[in-house]
Structure 1
Amino acid sequence: MAGNTEPLSPRSKLAVTAGKAAAAVSRAAGKGSGSVIGGKVALRLDPDLLARLAGHLDVVLVSATNGKTTTTRLIAEALRASGPVVSNALGANMPAGITSALAGGSEARYGVIEVDEKYLAAVARDVTPKAIALLNLSRDQLDRAAETRMLAERWREGLSGNKALIVANADDPLVVWAASSSPNVLWVAAGQEWKDDAWSCPSCGGVLQRPGEDWLCAECGFRRPVPGWALSGEHVLDPHGAAWPIRLQLPGRANRANATTAAAVAAAFGVHPQTALERMWEVTAVAGRYDTVQFGGRDLRLLLAKNPAGWLETFSLIDPPPTPVVLSVNARGADGTDTSWLWDVDYTRLTGHPLYVIGDRKLDLAVRLEVADQSFRVCEHIDEAVAAAPPGRIEVIANYTAFQDLRRRVGN
């Protein structure tokens, strides 16, 4: 358990109260949850508030390009077997949003916190985590985030000597290189379907070789570490070789990988793998992702995919052709305004699906689909796409702000 249980100072209490008030005003004005503005107000009044709020908690940080929101939710659910948990479950993952989340957790034992990749080292300094889960690194928000090799270097420098248990994906060379600066690492074989950001050795720049499930650099000897935990089909293998069944309501291999990492983290806090995995069954959706909703007399399944790695994983989830698919892409601040990543996605995987394209950048996506020799229809909005689609459940794939637009429109 974290040792600091001192009550908040009057200044910190004032900051928390002001932050909650600002959040309430934002919600009343219809501008979202208010967590970000509330956190900003609180931190302005007390710059050390994040550290103070985390002082009594056993903190787990979760960072990655893809899967961090879901994995955070799975870890939180597993740790509730041992005590109350506070978490930024809605995904506000920069310092202001994290501060807002922790401000509501005075009675919690654990803090399970999703952290934006750019802020991981800074947040880790503030909250003194007991564990940090590192899932993957791939290209994302090219105008905002650093190139993946630079992000890995930032992680490596920021986590160097950190006393937290680092639970890291052994299959992602960038993550392995970043985590290797830490003295206490638990490796998880969680897989890596998207490999286009990890063909060169992050240590020396040589070409990585990938025999089977292994990877290694022949030039400097940097190679995949031996994992303690592993995803094997529908089971999690623990360090003792025992196989524990995964039963999730969330679909796909990527979520089984997320559950494997979550089980490894929970075990570090004394939660038995069977207990952890059974609790994960309770997670049916994550901030609307994977939800099936009724709209226009049809069933729509809402899927979030915000970069090439995410779209690749999402394509593996959708029902087979001729299931209709709606694709929606925006390029607002939260998405990243550079849409060049659309050209990295293999849209030939959608061959045979009736495709409907919406969103702010629907014409950019239309050009990309044209080059990929896909048949599609450009629509003005989701209503038009649903009306035009043939019978059956409709799969809807959207990036971040497009997903939020869709949720508001379909009432999710």
Structure 2
Amino acid sequence: MAGNSDPLSPRAKLAVTAGKAVAAASRAAGRGSGSVIGGRVALKLDPDLLARLAQNLDVVLVSATNGKTTTTRLIAEALGAAGPVVSNALGANMPAGITSALAGGSEARYGVIEVDEKYLAGVARDTDPKCIALLNLSRDQLDRAAETRMLAENWREGLAGSKAVIVANADDPLVVWAASSSPNVVWVAAGQMWKDDAWSCPSCGGVMQRPGEDWFCGECGFRRPTPSWALSGDHVLDPHGSAWPIHLQLPGRANKANAASSAAVAAVFGVPPQVALERMYQVQAVAGRYDVVQFMQRDLRLLLAKNPAGWLETFSLIDPPPTPVILSVNARGADGTDTSWLWDVDYTRLTGHPICVIGDRKLDLAVRLEVANQHFQVCADLDEAVRAAPPGRIEVIANYTAFQDLRRRVGN
């Protein structure tokens, strides 16, 4: 736990040093941050390194299909009120990237760690977290991820009997089912805009009833737990019934939900909601997301959306028509190579917006927009798409590697 200053073993120190050297070489060669390759080398030299690095930290793990990078950043900002924080702020969320991040935080008291959904159980085993935040589960990367109920089962088994405080979204039945195996759960009413992965009961397979904001299974009685924290408009309601205003520079309802969950996590560590929420105001953008950049005399707002749930939330925060929208989709390894998820997105929400389509899989997206009766044009690249729009604001929505391509092109 924090305060215990066991020095790292010579082997662990060698692993950390070697990992940092490899990461630095990777950066110098222009191959990205180097955090993943550095972490891989370090773990090869000392397979227990992640556990050793975590043993002196109070650890928070954050996992979800959507919002984990932003929520990790908000929690890290909030816990900074109580002491130094180390975090994998750039989103390298598998064991190698996490190891690399913790290796750089020798003075930290708290470790705030984003974890890929499939690695949560293993990372929780290694890091002995004090708190785990579970935000949502929905379809994503269909070629590599098990379907959502299997992921929920993986969480449920991996977290059974965990000593950690689980801060979980009471509005997502899959998350509730996964968290219910834990003895200590703090329920947050954070909302659930995308419901298409939770129409059948994860416990018995029965049909889920959804009257209003409530949900329950008519067959086995599995139902929404009573939340102790809630997002209510522009406020977070705490367990004592006090309402705390949310002031964020990040847009949209989804980020208010992320802030509500983050406030509940901060409270586990003794940081009051008012202090936590005030600190979250500092966050203007997260790894380039939500940034507005000047490019070719236009103002481009860069928005990341990786799966149907993410696209739905993103459509809810773009400026009204006739603001132009550029959509960019790739299907490289980090995105998942299966683009059938595009058919799960309701593109009629873009009616009235001039749309330009770019990216490796622009033709897949064009077919989908054609079926949705949207007016669009297919462009060769970002420059052509921007030239097609009048001066002023453009909303640019991209999935993961397409987003990285965009950031490189606009110098962000």
Deviations 1:142-168 (A, max 9, x none): 001110000000000000000000000
Superposed counterparts of 1:224-235, under 5 Å: 224-235=224-235
Structure 1 residue 390: Cα displacement? 2.4
Q: Cα deviation per residue 1:279-313 (whole Å; 9 max; x = unaligned)?
A: 00000000000000010111000000000000000
Measure the CA separation in 1 of the matches of 2:371 and 2:24.
47
Is the partner of 1:120 in helix, strand or coil? helix
Stretches of structure 2 that go unaligned for 5 or more consecutive residues are none
Is residue 33 of structure 1 aligned with residue 29 of structure 2?
A: no
Alignment of 1:13-412 (within 5 A): 13-412=13-412
Moved beyond 6 Å, runs of 4+: none
Query: What SS is found at the alignment partner of 2:102?
Result: helix
| Cα distance between partner residues in 2 of 1:5 and 1:182 | 30
Shift in Å, 1:350? 0.2
Distance in 2 (CA, whole Å) between partners of 1:250 and 1:221 is 38
Instruction: Tell me if the contact between 1:324 and 1:392 (Cα under 8 Å) persists in the aligned partners.
Output: no
Q: What is the CA-CA distance between 1:3 and the residue it aligns to?
A: 6.2
Residue 78 of structure 1: SS of its match in structure 2? helix
CA distance in 1 between partners of 2:147 and 2:101 (Å)? 29
Take 1:43 and 1:139, find their aligned partners in 2: how far apart are those partners? 30
Q: CA deviation at 1:2?
A: 3.6
Q: Secondary structure at the match of 2:230?
A: strand
- For each residue in 1:173-195, what CA deviation from the matched residue of structure 2 results, as whole angstroms up to 9, or x when unmatched? 00000000000000000000000
Q: Is the 8 A contact 1:60 1:132 kept in 2?
A: yes
CA distance in 2, matches of 1:198, 1:309: 12
CA distance in 1, matches of 2:183, 2:209: 26
Which residue identity lines up with residue 27 of structure 1 in the other structure?
A: R
Q: What CA deviation, in whole Å up to 9, does each residue of 1:36-80 have, x standing for no partner?
A: 000000000000000000010000000000000000000000000
Residues 3 and 55, structure 1, Cα contact 8 Å, conserved in 2: no
Aligned-CA RMSD value: 0.6
Distance (whole Å) between structure 1 residues aligned to residue 31 and residue 138 of structure 2? 30
Deviation at 1:4?
A: 4.3
Partners of 1:148 and 1:4 lie apart in 2 by 38
| One-letter amino acid matched to 2:56 | H
For 2:344 and 2:5, how far apart are their aligned partners in 1? Answer: 49
* Equivalent residue letter for 1:43: L
CA drift of 1:218 comes to 1.0
Deviation of 1:100 (Å): 0.3
TM-score of the two chains, using structure 2 as the length reference: 0.99
Amino acid paired to 2:146: A
Number of residue pairs the alignment of both structures matches: 412
Cα displacement (A) at 1:217:
0.4
Q: Indicate if the aligned counterparts of 2:297 and 2:391 stay in contact, CA closer than 8 A.
A: no
Q: Is the 8 A contact 1:5 1:55 kept in 2?
A: no
Secondary structure of the residue that 1:390 maps to in structure 2?
coil
| Matched residue SS, 1:98 | helix
CA contact (8 A) 1:323 1:395 kept: yes
Q: 1:113 corresponds to which letter in structure 2?
A: I
Please list the CA deviations of residues 330-351 of structure 1 after superposition, one character each: whole Å capped at 9, or x if unmatched: 0000000000000000000000
- The gaps in structure 1 that reach 5 residues or longer are none
SS in 2 for 1:258: helix
Larger mean Cα displacement after TM superposition, 206-215 or 386-395: 386-395
CA distance in 2, matches of 1:296, 1:26: 31
Measure, in 1, the Cα distance between the counterparts of 2:5 and 2:330: 44
Rounded Cα–Cα distance in structure 2 between residues aligned with 1:2 and 1:82: 12
2-structure distance, mates of 1:363, 1:148:
28
Shift of 1:357: 0.2
SS in 2 for 1:166: strand
> 1:350 and 1:238 mapped to 2: Cα distance?
36
Equivalent AA in structure 2 for residue 168 of structure 1 = A
Residue 212 of structure 1 deviates from its aligned partner by: 1.1
- Whether the 8 Å CA contact 1:27–1:34 is kept in 2: the answer is yes
Q: CA deviation at 1:391?
A: 3.2
Deviations 1:217-264 (A, max 9, x none): 010000000000000000000000000000000000000000000000
Amino acid at match of 1:380: A
Distance in 1 (CA, whole Å) between partners of 2:248 and 2:188 is: 19
Partner-residue secondary structure (3-state), 1:302: strand
CA distance in 1, matches of 2:180, 2:391: 51
- Secondary structure of the 2:392 match is coil
Match of 1:7 in 2: 7
